Amino acid sequence: MDKQVGYICENCGSADLVYDASARWDTRTQSMELSSTYDHCDCLSCESENRQIEVDIETYEKALMKEFE
């Protein structure tokens, strides 16, 4: 199995990130399908627009758990 990773905010270390993307309607499957994503993300914790940092899955899970404290 490949190494698992997650992404956190480069500014505050939060895992509460949202991304912009493009999607299109597929008439065959009758659903939206993701066609592309963009490099930047928005952090809902510190309200910054920035790039994410790739981290190992353990670091990501720790950051994710902080969201529930």
Say if residues 44 and 22 touch (Cβ distance below 8 Å): no
Which region, left, alpha or beta, applies to residue 42 given φ > 0 means left and ψ of -120 to 50 means alpha? beta
pLDDT of residue 1: 61
* pLDDT per position as a tens digit, 1-58: 689 999 999 999 999 999 999 999 999 999 999 999 888 899 999 999 988 999 999 9
Structure tokens at 17: 């990130």
pLDDT of residue 2: 83
pLDDT of residue 54: 94
Phi and psi torsions of 31, nearest 5°:
-150, 160
Q: Which domain holds residue 62?
A: 5-66
Task: Give every CB contact of residue 11 below 8 A, 6+ residues apart in sequence.
Answer: 43, 46, 48, 50
Of the two residues 67 and 3, the one the predictor is more confident about is 3
Give the number of domains in the chain.
Answer: 1
